[in-house]
Amino acid sequence: MLVTACPGQGAQKAGFLTSWLELPGFSTTLGTLADASGIDLRTHGTESDDATITDTAIAQPLLVAAAIASFTEIFGDDLQTDIVAGHSVGEIGAAAIAGILSPAQAMTLVQARGAAMADAAGAAASGMAAVVGGDPDGVLTAITDAGLEPANVNGGGQTVAAGASERIEEFAANPPDRARVIPLKVAGAFHTSFMSPASDAVAATAKTLSPQDPSVTILTNSDGTAVPSGADYLDLLVSQVTNPVRWDRCQETLLASGVTGILELVPGGTLTGLAKRAMKGVEVFPVKSADDIEAAREFVRAHAGA
* Beta strand residue intervals within the chain, DSSP E: 2-6, 83-86, 126-133, 149-155, 158-164, 179-183, 217-218, 261-264, 283-286
Does residue 103 share a domain with residue 226? yes
Whether residue 267 is preceded by a cis peptide bond, meaning omega within 30 degrees of 0, is: yes
Does residue 217 share a domain with residue 80? yes
Does residue 57 share a domain with residue 111? yes
**Measured between alpha carbons, how far is 156 from 139 in angstroms, rounded to an integer?**
13
pLDDT band at 101 (very low <50, low <70, confident <90, very high): very high
Neighbouring CB atoms inside 10 A of 298's CB total 11
Among residues of the chain, what percentage have pLDDT more than 90?
A: 97
Given this model, what pLDDT does residue 187 score?
87
Arithmetic mean of pLDDT, 235-242: 97
To the nearest whole number, what is the mean pLDDT of the chain? 97
Does residue 209 share a domain with residue 110? yes
Neighbouring CB atoms inside 10 A of 305's CB total 10
Counting the structural domains of the chain, the total is 2
Given this model, what pLDDT does residue 294 score?
98
The residues carrying an active-site annotation are: 88, 191
Arithmetic mean of pLDDT, 159-185: 95
Given this model, what pLDDT does residue 156 score?
86
The yes-or-no verdict on residue 26 having pLDDT over 90 is yes
Does residue 128 share a domain with residue 114? no
The yes-or-no verdict on residue 306 having pLDDT over 80 is no
Contact criterion met (CB below 8 Å) for 195 and 123: no
Domain harbouring 131, CATH code: 3.30.70.250
Domain harbouring 42, CATH code: 3.40.366.10
Q: Write out the residue range of the structural domain in which residue 146 sits.
A: 123-183
**153: Cβ contacts below 8 Å, ≥ 6 apart:** 140, 159, 160, 244, 245, 246, 247, 248, 249
pLDDT band at 186 (very low <50, low <70, confident <90, very high): confident
Given this model, what pLDDT does residue 104 score?
98
Arithmetic mean of pLDDT, 100-117: 98
Does residue 228 share a domain with residue 277? yes
Does residue 90 share a domain with residue 150? no
pLDDT digits (tens, 9 = 90+) for 262-293: 999 999 999 999 999 999 999 999 999 999 99
Does residue 108 share a domain with residue 247? yes
pTM here is 0.96
Q: Which one of 131, 150, 183 terminates a domain? A: 183
Arithmetic mean of pLDDT, 81-97: 98
Given this model, what pLDDT does residue 225 score?
98
Does residue 98 share a domain with residue 7? yes
Does residue 269 share a domain with residue 164? no
The yes-or-no verdict on residue 137 having pLDDT over 90 is yes
**Measured between alpha carbons, how far is 240 from 71 in angstroms, rounded to an integer?**
23
pLDDT band at 77 (very low <50, low <70, confident <90, very high): very high
| Residue 260 burial (10 A CB sphere; 0-12, 13-18, 19+) | middle
Given this model, what pLDDT does residue 277 score?
92
pLDDT band at 213 (very low <50, low <70, confident <90, very high): very high
Arithmetic mean of pLDDT, 17-38: 98
Does residue 70 share a domain with residue 39? yes
Does residue 199 share a domain with residue 179? no
**Measured between alpha carbons, how far is 206 from 221 in angstroms, rounded to an integer?**
18
The amino acid at residue 91 is E
